[in-house]
Amino acid sequence: MSALRIHGIVLSGVGGQGVLSLAQIVLEALRRSGFHALQSEIHGMSQRGGSVQAQVCFAEVPLTSPILDEGSADLLIALEPLEALRHVAMLRPDGHLVASEEPSADMAGYPPLEDIYRALKAVRGACLLDTEDLARRLRHPQAGGMALLGMASRHLPVPEAVWQAVITERFAAKGERVITKNLEAFAAGQGLVPARAEA
């Protein structure tokens, strides 16, 4: 009888940013990499711009709890900087954060951006991305999410071929161009984080 390590990922953002779709890509990629994985999502009324959060847990044995405890996530992927801060307490001390710097500030009481960036940079293992700039450079308005996933992929035990396959299938219905654009954004994100030694 030995203890088992369960891995956790939190994804967060604002309704409409594609948090749930990203979570599904991660879930499928982990599953195809041989893990037992579960995903949970909380999105009261997400199409109307509230906070959205999804969690993915995975391990080498079947899991039953779709939700993580505070301080137990290995990775936080945030599509919006305030929504990153909202969930940093979910990270383990040795966890990683990849987050967009691009604010969705259309709400009451949004804190000053410099305060948000300062708090984010104080998080150990934080990696921020100017998704607005990247989207412009890649001429792909939705590049941000996929690039963040590329960055996050450096911390996940998923073979490159699996990522390629899952992303390709996810966008298959939208045609060759959309697939290429998304793979390009994913690769751009990967290029920003050094590969893990064991990957």
Partner 1 sequence: MAQSTLALGVEAVGCAGFDAGIKGAFGYPGTPSTEGFECVEALIHAAADGRVAQWAANEKVAYDLALGVSFAGFRTLVTMKHVGLNVALDAYANSALTGVHGGLVLLVADDPGMHSSQNEQDSRSLASFAWLPCLEPSTVQECYDFTLRAFDLSEALQVPVMVRLVTRLAHCRAPLDRREALAPTGLGPVPAAQAQDWVLIPSNARRRYEDLLAKQPRLLAALADLNRSVPGPSRRGVALAGMGRAYFHQLALEHPELRDLPRLELAAQPVDPDLEAAFLATVDEVLVFEEDYPLVETRLGLRARVKVHGRMDGALPRVGELSPRLLKAALGLAPSMGTPAELDLPVRAPRFCDGCGHVDAFEALQEALGNLGATAQARVFGDIGCYTLAAQEPLSALHAVVEMGASISMAVGAALAGLHPAVAVIGDSTFGHSGLPALLTAMDAGADVTILILDNRVVGMTGQQPSQALDQVERMVLGMGIPEASLQVLTPLPRHHEANVKAVAAALQQPGPSVLVFRRECIQSLRRGVLREHDRNEKAERASACCTLEVQP
Closest distance of CB 129 from partner 1, Å:
18
Asked if 106 touches ligand SF4 (CB under 6 A), the answer is no
Q: List the one residue from 19, 75, 77, 85 that touches partner 1 (CB under 8 A).
A: 85
Choice from 9, 11, 78, 82 touching partner 1 (CB under 8 A):
82
H/E segment holding residue 169? helix 160-170
Find the angle CA(131)-CA(132)-CA(135) to the nearest 5 degrees. Answer: 80
Considering the rule CB under 8 A, would residue 51 count as an interface residue with partner 1?
Answer: yes
165 vs 27, 73, 162, CA distance in Å? 13, 26, 5
Q: Which of 48, 93, 177, 198 binds ligand SF4 (CB under 6 A)?
A: 48
Residue 48, token pair as written in the block: 């109307």
From residue 12, alpha-carbon distances to 88, 91, 191 in Å are 10, 13, 22
* CA–CA distance, 183 with 61 (Å, rounded to integer): 30
- Find the binder of partner 1 among 34, 89, 113, 160 (CB under 8 A): 89
Signed CA dihedral, 69, 149, 144, 115: sign only:
positive
Based on the shown chain and the rule CB under 8 A, indicate whether residue 59 belongs to the binding site for partner 1.
yes
Q: How far apart are CA 76 and CA 54, in angstroms?
A: 10
Q: What is the contact mask toward partner 1 in residues 4 to 43, using x (rule: CB under 8 A)?
A: xxx-------xx--------x--xx--x----xxxxxxx-
Binding site for ligand SF4 (CB under 6 A): 47-48
Residues that bind partner 1 in the complex, under the rule CB under 8 A: 1-6, 14-15, 24, 27-28, 31, 36-42, 44-51, 59, 61, 63-73, 82-83, 85-86, 88-93, 107-111, 115-116, 119-120, 122-123
